[in-house]
Amino acid sequence: MTMSAPLTSLPNPHKSTSPITFVAVPNTRLLLWSYRVLRSLQSNLASGQLIHQPYYRPVSALDQGYTHPPFLLGADHVFEWHSTLHRFPLCIVTISINPLYHFPHPHLVVANSFTYQCPHLHLLHWDLTPEIPLELSESLEQVN
């Protein structure tokens, strides 16, 4: 009787964990869009006080009468800036990528975190953005 290797030992098909060059993909049904979203989850930008937690959000949906597995694909990138004094977040930024957020420009929702009572900036968009939107950077400057 032979034992198979655990799933964690499978090789990573994407050798590099560095972000790929931004390519605008206007249609969320294209495989390139899905590949780019999945690839963004492989990079971890945590450093020092900055904690980065990427989350994969698979969703199935009907399209023209049948299910695509997974037709709707989403991702969340949660960034927390922690204090050196008490180790709790001073600010949280969540970037949510989902095809249902098909706005012409990213939407920013500014609120307070229920858990930590710190500013929580939530950026909603259907696609990755090549740069930080001006509205988000201005809100981050106001947090300081």
- pLDDT value of residue 94: 96
DSSP class of residue 7 equals G
Q: Cβ(108)–Cβ(122) under 8 Å?
A: yes
d(CA 73, CA 68): 11
In order along the chain (144 residues), what is the average pLDDT of each group of 10 residues?
A: 44 53 66 81 89 85 58 85 92 91 89 93 90 91 82
- The DSSP line for 68-103 is EEEEEEEEEEEEEEE-TTT-SEEEEEEEEE-TT---
pLDDT score recorded for residue 93: 96
> What value, to the nearest 5°, has the Cα angle with vertex 25 and ends 139 and 96?
35
pTM across the whole model: 0.75
pLDDT at 143: 82
Alpha helices per DSSP H over the chain: 31-40, 134-143
Q: What residues does each domain of the chain span?
A: 46-143
